[in-house]
Structures are given as structure tokens and as C-alpha cells.
Structure 1
Amino acid sequence: MRKLLLLSLLTILLSVHSAQAQAPKREFRAVWIATVANIDWPGQKGLSPAVQQQEFKYILDEHQKNGMNAVIVQVRPAADALYRSELEPWSEFLTGRQGQAMNPPYDPLQFMLEEAHKRGMELHAWFNPYRATFDAKASVAPGHITKKKPDWFIKYEGKLVFNPGIPEVRQYITNVVLDVVNRYDIDGVHFDDYFYPYPIAGHPFPDDDTYAAFQGLFTNKNDWRRYNVDELIEGISDSINAVKPWVKFGISPFGVWKNLADGPEGSATRAGAPSYTALYADTRKWMQLGWIDYLVPQVYWHIGNPAADYKTVVEWWSENTFQRHLYVGLGAYKVGNDRTYAQWNDPNEIPRQLQLGRATPNVGGSVFFSSRSVMSNPNHLQDSLRAHYYKYPALLPVMDWKKSQELEPPFSLKVKQTGNGVQLHWLHDQKVRYYVVYRFKKDSTPIWKLDYWKERKWQPFLPELEDPTHIVAKVFGTKTAFIDEAPLRKGKYIYVVTALDRQQNESAPSQAVSVKYK
């Protein structure tokens, strides 16, 4: 019995060591924060602005502890807005009634952006492009687009959805997205998996009249439907790049593009609603043509799932990235809640998925659905992220195709020990997105010699900067000061600071400065 206990303990320790040893310096780590039906935030309809803000700051604080470096926040769940808009009404999920403004007034998106950036996190604004009402009982505001343009909408399963086949619809959705891109300092635009609606058996989507009016040269309705969605994605991509080329554009589709039965390029799966054939979203094509910057397929299946094995799906996508970024969508909401498959009761299921993702070429990170699911800590998932997989910070992956600036290193770095910790201050002449603070224990890093910085010889030390265990903090670019409050052991420490542009390109380090911690 004692041998089995020791063997079990050794296995856990090896797993922990493996998780930490494999942790990369650059990795996209995010959660979806869903506002529709108040899934994640706000906690319920009608909360005061003060309580809403308190809740959101708590969510960010917890995910900062979880090691996340980005949040994907749903700002347009159903042709409504969680931001100031002249195009669409305030969301009912804020105040309880669509169109009713905050009292006292505030702008949720602006607030969320400021709070996320303070914590070194990107914020990607998540839009549901085609959903106009969330359910059949929805009560819309008098100025809602469904009232102004009723001919733009189709009723399906009791809900109203934008008709993708109408060109004016595509232009309207593009205008909504560009309104946010132009007015807010968002880091990314994000669409989920709802394009043409998920099909209902025996109830085909009723767009015959639209097809007759706008089919053009198409003789196949399915090809025409894919063309409609293609036009929206390409148009939004072009529009974003024309006004703010640094803003990322990402899609989170259903996890399977095509089953192998749908064509030789499909994956060895038997998923029920592939995006290409069921939702008319040719997500692989969007990667191939460079219309989007990243893809987050919702791979919400366990390892070994008979219809869609997690490993099979991830490996298929890794071979179809076309040099765009691939992050994996993880079904945290299933952990401990899936009655069909016992695998989701296994506390090692998500950790194994994380390990598989890191071991698979071209996979650059993970996104969890959803925030509340992670924070509820099912099967100690959150504990595992904090203690092992996301124990050390990670910078975001660089998108080489995005325009970047030449970054000079910060200079005149000063450090001093205070009663609150080690205080750092530096100077910099460029506008940057973040600064990264690194700390090294001098005794354990003998190759670090201050004379090298005086001679501006960086190369011998760059490998040390690739070790994320030395990252202390990301500081938003409006600040050039930081207090390292970590409890340190007595001894000498070395600090350097680098600069990051919007695309996370990193400058050379500043001169190194040492401090003796007493």
C-alpha cells in the first residue's frame, strides 16, 4: 500500500514538473466572458453600475491569478450593446430592459478595457453577428433594428436572425463592428460559431425567397449561403485593416470544419453539425486566404470521443492553419457536468488536453468556455492552472503579418528597496503597449554581468529572457514605474525591463540594475 502511495505521489510530481517544464514564454491564455443570459457577467439583470464594476474587477483579478493574458468579452449578444451606441440599444442583460440606460450612466466596454489593460490583459470584443433576439419571449426596444427593418429578418426556432443573404444586412453588421473598432481601444474583434443557425431536423431554413432574389450565378443554394458568409468575413477583415490594422480578427467556430465523409480534406470525425456543411461557414478558407488572424475551434470533446476525438480534431486543425494563429477552445463547462461521458469527471481530462495542445505543432494557446466554469474550480481545474500549467506568466504570440514598429529598449532604469517592496522606474521615448519586468537572482545566474549592458551586448543574455519564470509583471504602456511586492529571500537581484508593441513584439532589454534585498 505504501509503495502504491509513493508511486502515485511520484506520478503527480512528475506531472507537475512536466507541466511547468513545458510552459512556453508565449501562449494565448483566455476565457470567454459571456453576457447573454447573464452566463458570466453581470451576475444578474438590473444590478447597479457599482456592483457590475465590482463583479467585473473580481473576475479579472481571479483570471489574472489563473495566468490568463486575454479575455474575450461578449459586447453584442443579440443586436444590442454593452457599450454606448447610436446604432443599437443597451442590452437587457445589463439593466433588465433592452434600451434602458445605466443609472448612474457609465460605459461598460470602456470600463472593461481600462481594467483589463491595467492587468496586462488583452480584451477582444465578442460580437454575435447574426442573432437578433435571444429567445422567442424577447421584448425588444422600440428602436431595435428588427422594428426598423423587419424584412431583414427570418424567424427560426422562435427567434429572429439576420438574413445573411441580403447585402444590406452584411453592410449593417460591418457598420456595427466598425463603430466599436473606431471608438474603442479594443485588441481584437471576435465572432462565435453562430452563422447560419444550427439546423433543426425537418425544418429547413426558410430563405427560398432571398435565394431567388439574390442568387446571381449560383445554382446551388449551399454554395450561395457560404458565399454570403464569406462576403461578411472578408468585408469586415478589410474594414478593420483599413482603419486599425493592429486590431486582431478572430473566429471561434464549431470544432469540426468537415467530416471525412463530407470530403477528403475533412477530419476523421462524425460530428453532427460541421461548420462547412451545416452552418455554411468555410472557416478553413478564411484561414487559408488570410481573412482572419486567429481561429479558436470549439473542441468541446474529450480525448477518445468516438464521434470527434479531441486529439484527432486538434491535430487536423494544426495541419490547416496556413500560417495563421490557432488556439483551442476548451469545454470547461463540461467538467463534472457531462452525464454522457465519464471522462469529464476525470480531473486530468482538461490538463491532458492542455498538454496535448502544447505538444501539437502550430497550437498557440487555449481559450476556456466559460469564465464562470473556470472560476467554480470544477475538479480543481482552477487550482491546476494556478499551481502548474499557468503558474508562470506568458506573453501573447506575435502575429508576424501585422505591422510593427522598431522598438528601442527602455533606459535609465532605477531600482531601490522600500518598505513596500522593490521600486522600479525607467524612461522610454516611444509609445508602447506594455513593459515587461524581469527579475533574476544574481547568485543563481552567474552569467549576468552588469558590464555587458554598459557595452550594449545583449545576445549572451537573450536565452535567459525566454524563461517565463523570470517575468515579474506586465505594465501598461502609460506607466513607467512598478513596485515588486513579492516576498524575496535575502540576496542580490537583477532587474531588466523590455517594451512590447501592440503585436507583442519585444524590444531588447534595458540596462540591468541590481539591488540587495535585506
Structure 2
Amino acid sequence: MFKRKWKFILAWMLLFVFAINQAFPAMAATKEDTGPSIKATYRVLNQKATVSYEVSSKAKLKSILYLPNLVTLENSIRWTESGKKISESGTFEVKKSGFYTFRAEDVNGGVTVEYIYVDLEFKAVWISYLEFKSTGYTKDEFEAQIDEMFDNVVDMGMNAVIVHVRPFGDAMYDSDYFPWSKYISGTQGKDPGFDPLEYMVEAAHDRGLQFHAWLNPYRITSKNTDVKTLATNNPARKWLTDKKTSNDRNVLSFDGNLYYNPAVPEVRTLIRNGVLEIVRNYDVDGIHFDDYFYPTLGSNYEKVFDATEYKSYVDNYKKQGLDNYILPIDEWRRQNVNTLIKGIYSAIKLEKSDVVFGISPGGFLDTLRMKDRYYVDVDTWLSKPGYVDYICPQLYWSFEHSQYPFDGILNRWLELRKNTDVNVYVGIPVYKSASNDEPDFKKNANILADMIITCRNSKLVDGYMFFRYDNFYSNTAKKAVKNLLNVLNE
């Protein structure tokens, strides 16, 4: 077990605040009813945080103070000795993680003290469908597993979890659009009798963890094209088996897998609606897509997959005399993905502006720009507004890798960020220390830790995501994980 230092600190703080409220109930009630209101948020970029605050009050404000540490007592002598006077609203920059406390007093004696904890690094663990059983769970079994995993994540010193809620066109919650996942009930479409996502979000927040819902937008199946294995209420099965022929190409079969067709507006609407129901119905902190978009189409990329839709697009433009505006098929496919991404970003922000949307593409920049695969436009996402709040490239290579040495590919990604409103996180491959994929990771137990040091030395990396939860507990990765966590929690 890792040290539970943050859990004990949080428990102590809650107990302390409870004791204060019990000792001064009248004061607490007065503050709630008549005292000033303080709202504070922060945003991290390049290992610095900008704290934004706003103070409002029914009565005239007498004083507003701020301290760069935790002070819970409104009459603490520290306010008079060290409190910094600030205006009713504004921003300030901080360069250290920690508590920042505000005190506002009105002319009637009403006093409010609020604090915010600023963490300069986003530190998240990916929890994939592979961490869940395909045979399903009872409510008690599932909650026990989540409690154990989230406790361990806190013990590691992390502050967020990225949890799969739609791995294969399904749902780990009660969806209006997608069938129940077999990774919760054992059978796709079968109701488990409880709400896993509701519990996961609550369990994360109870431990001070952010919860980001992880979805794969296009993937329906893996190594299976038999539509009869899908739940009867699966939209892919409905489209393929109803009497309409107009929607048959909403689902494509390629290389032994089923995918939603990225070129079809009806598909984009389905995916967007699936995101929106999560944002509306659950208190998630973020929506997360990984690296699965278009599959690798190979040398015949111009003739397969959604080539039929491309031909219709070309014919339509020619009929309108717009021949000069026709995009090559690879650029057209990137446009299809961009249309989806921009639509989802806009929909999320209209629904809940504080919910973030981010993508974790593969880290191999040269491959991402090839004409036959993925079609993810990372150059646009990192340079123009309205697409993502963060990018997390999966930089899964050692420092000695011949094509993508870690420090070299990291710098290439950081140079792409032209829009400073986009955070850059780095995907760290814990799994490499538990596998034989790249021998350097087995030979050198310091690689993962050195990755964190390199990122911090850049002064440009905003955090990390670690792939994946189970690998932290691999016997072969023990030393590497210990070294990693020692550096991460320095």
C-alpha cells in the first residue's frame, strides 16, 4: 500500500472545520445567511496557476484579504499580520501548489472565509475497460472495487481518474442512446440494477479526485462483425437491421471490426448526444477521448471505409461548380473528425462551461500526419480555439528510442501549442515497465521517473496521465513504480 497522506490530511481538515462549526453554530448560521459570498477558481498553464476570484455581498464590504496558505479561523491573528488586501474581483498568479485562503467582511460584521487548493500538476490514472470484468458485477462488488481503486489512486498522490464509460458503443450508466455495457452487467444491454457512473463520480469527489468520463466515439466492436451479438437496443444493430436502406452506411465493417461512420451527420449527432447526456446528468469534471478515431486503412485508403461518402461529396461539389474547393480524401477525413470535435466542444461549453474536453492522441507525430490512418488534426487542436481544453499525447518511448526519443518527441509536441488556452499533459507508459515491448524499460527502472523530471524541467507541461491502473501493481514494475511515485510526490 502507498502512504495515505492526503486522505489523513483531508480527514483532519474536515474534522477541524466540523469542530469549529459546532463550537460557533450561531456564527456559522449568520455567515451563511448574511455574510459575503466568495467564489474562487484556478487554471494551470506552464506550471503556473492563475487564480480568479469574485466577492459579492448584500451589505457594503469593509475588507477583503487573502493569504497564501490555509487559515480556517476568521479571527486568526494571521489575517492582521500577513493578510494581503485585494479588490472585490480579480486574478493573481501562483507558482506553488497549496492552499490559498480568502476572508471577506462587510460593515455589519458578517465574515466569510473560503479557501481553494491549487495543484500545479494534473496527475491522473487511466482506468480502462480492461480493469473491469466482462462477466458483470453486483452493486456491492462494483462499489467495493471502485473504493479500492480510488483509495489506491489517492495513495499514489494522484488528483484525477480517467475512467472508461463507453469503450464499445455502450454505456457504464443508464443511457438514452447506448446499451448497458457488458463490463458492468455481463451482457450488453442488460440493466445491472444500479448506476455505476453515479457512484464513481461521487466516490471520486469524496476523495478529492476529479472524474473524467472516457469515451471511444467510433468503435463499436473489436474482432467481431456479427451484428447479432450486439444488444437489440444498440443503435448500430438497429441501423443495420431495420428496413431502411438509407442508414445502412451509418455503420462500417473494416478489418474485422465495426465502426460508426465518421462521415455521416446522423452519427455525429448520436455521439454528441451521448456526450451531452453525461454532462447533463452527472457531475463529471471532464469528457475524454483517446487515440481511436479512424482505423489504419492501408494502401487502398482512397477506396475503402467511407470512400463512398467521399465520392458523394466530390460529385456534389462538382455539380455546384466548386471543383477548386474539393479536398483530398485525407483532408476531408480530418475535416470529418474536426466537425465532430468542434461540435462536441461547443455543446459541452453551452451545457456546463466548467466541464473540460480533451483528447489523448498517439504520440507519433509523423504517423498522425500520414494519409491512410487516424486523421486527427492535432495541429489545429493545439493552435485554434474551440476544439479542446487539453491534449495529452501518449509519449510511450524511452530516451534511447531510435525514432521517438522521449525528450525529442516531447519538445516537438510542446512546440505545436500555439493556443495558450490549451493545456498539454503527457501520457506516461507505466505498462512499458510491466511488459517486454521495449527492453530499455526493463533495463532501467528510472525511465518513468526521468520522464517526470524532464517534463518539469521544460516548464511547459501541465500534468500527466498514467497508463494504466493495473500496471502500477505488476510485480515486474515495482521498482519503476516506486521510483516514479517518489519523484512525482516530491
TM-score (norm 2): 0.68
**What is aligned with 2:79?**
none
Does the alignment pair 1:28 with 2:132?
A: no
Does the aligned pair in 1 maintain the 2:393–2:426 contact within 8 Å? yes
Does the aligned pair in 1 maintain the 2:174–2:195 contact within 8 Å? yes
**What is aligned with 1:303?**
399
The higher relative CO (CA closer than 8 Å, separation ≥ 6) is in 1
| TM-superposed deviation, 1:339 | 4.7
Q: Any residues of structure 2 matched to 1:175-214 within 5 Å, and which?
A: 175-200=273-298, 205-214=304-313
Q: Distance in 1 between matches of 2:370 and 2:352?
A: 29
TM-score (norm 1): 0.64
| TM-superposed deviation, 1:376 | 2.7
Q: Distance in 2 between matches of 1:275 and 1:233?
A: 20
Q: Secondary structure at the match of 1:319?
A: helix
Q: Any residues of structure 2 matched to 1:417-456 within 5 Å, and which?
A: none
**Among 340, 345, 353, the residue aligned to 2:443:** 345
Does the aligned pair in 1 maintain the 2:225–2:258 contact within 8 Å? no
Q: Distance in 2 between matches of 1:158 and 1:277?
A: 17
Once the two structures are superposed, residues 85-113 of structure 1 have per-residue CA deviations (whole angstroms, 9 ceiling, x without a partner) of 121110011222100111xx210000000
| Unaligned runs of at least 5 residues, structure 1 | 1-21, 260-271, 393-518
Q: Any residues of structure 2 matched to 1:26-425 within 5 Å, and which?
A: 26-35=120-129, 39-40=130-131, 42-102=132-192, 105-136=193-224, 139-150=229-240, 151=248, 152-200=250-298, 205-215=304-314, 216=317, 217-257=325-365, 259=366, 272=367, 274=369, 278-290=373-385, 291-321=387-417, 322-323=419-420, 324-376=422-474, 378-386=477-485, 388-391=486-489
Once the two structures are superposed, residues 6-64 of structure 1 have per-residue CA deviations (whole angstroms, 9 ceiling, x without a partner) of xxxxxxxxxxxxxxxx99651010111001xxx11x24522322111111110111110
Q: Distance in 2 between matches of 1:153 and 1:177?
A: 19
Does the aligned pair in 2 maintain the 1:346–1:379 contact within 8 Å? no
Does the aligned pair in 1 maintain the 2:160–2:209 contact within 8 Å? yes
| TM-superposed deviation, 1:200 | 4.4
Once the two structures are superposed, residues 377-414 of structure 1 have per-residue CA deviations (whole angstroms, 9 ceiling, x without a partner) of 6142332344x22336xxxxxxxxxxxxxxxxxxxxxx
Q: Distance in 1 between matches of 2:370 and 2:280?
A: 30
Once the two structures are superposed, residues 441-462 of structure 1 have per-residue CA deviations (whole angstroms, 9 ceiling, x without a partner) of xxxxxxxxxxxxxxxxxxxxxx
Once the two structures are superposed, residues 119-178 of structure 1 have per-residue CA deviations (whole angstroms, 9 ceiling, x without a partner) of 101000011001012331662101111122232011011111011111111111111111
Amino acid at match of 2:201: L
| Unaligned runs of at least 5 residues, structure 2 | 1-94, 98-118, 241-247, 318-324
Q: Distance in 1 between matches of 2:154 and 2:345?
A: 30
| TM-superposed deviation, 1:276 | 7.5
Does the aligned pair in 2 maintain the 1:303–1:311 contact within 8 Å? yes
Once the two structures are superposed, residues 73-96 of structure 1 have per-residue CA deviations (whole angstroms, 9 ceiling, x without a partner) of 110011100011121110011222
Q: Secondary structure at the match of 2:349?
A: helix
Count, aligned residues: 351
Q: Secondary structure at the match of 2:413?
A: helix
Q: Distance in 2 between matches of 1:94 and 1:62?
A: 21
Q: Any residues of structure 2 matched to 1:446-485 within 5 Å, and which?
A: none
Does the aligned pair in 2 maintain the 1:374–1:381 contact within 8 Å? no
Q: Distance in 2 between matches of 1:358 and 1:275?
A: 31
Q: Distance in 2 between matches of 1:344 and 1:62?
A: 24
Q: Distance in 1 between matches of 2:483 and 2:435?
A: 18
Distance 1:287-1:355 versus aligned 2 partners, 3 A rule: same
Q: Distance in 1 between matches of 2:478 and 2:304?
A: 40
Q: Distance in 1 between matches of 2:191 and 2:431?
A: 31
**What is aligned with 2:70?**
none
Does the aligned pair in 2 maintain the 1:302–1:310 contact within 8 Å? yes
Distance 1:278-1:316 versus aligned 2 partners, 3 A rule: same
Does the aligned pair in 2 maintain the 1:298–1:329 contact within 8 Å? yes
Does the aligned pair in 2 maintain the 1:318–1:360 contact within 8 Å? no
Q: Secondary structure at the match of 2:382?
A: helix
Q: Distance in 2 between matches of 1:339 and 1:221?
A: 34
Once the two structures are superposed, residues 483-510 of structure 1 have per-residue CA deviations (whole angstroms, 9 ceiling, x without a partner) of xxxxxxxxxxxxxxxxxxxxxxxxxxxx
RMSD: 2.1
Answer 1 or 2: which has greater helix percent. 2
Amino acid at match of 1:358: R
Q: Distance in 1 between matches of 2:440 and 2:378?
A: 31
Q: Secondary structure at the match of 1:335?
A: helix
Amino acid at match of 2:290: D
Does the aligned pair in 1 maintain the 2:134–2:182 contact within 8 Å? no
Q: Secondary structure at the match of 1:288?
A: coil
**More deviation in 285-294 or 63-72?**
285-294
Distance 1:344-1:314 versus aligned 2 partners, 3 A rule: farther
Percent identity, aligned pairs only, is: 34
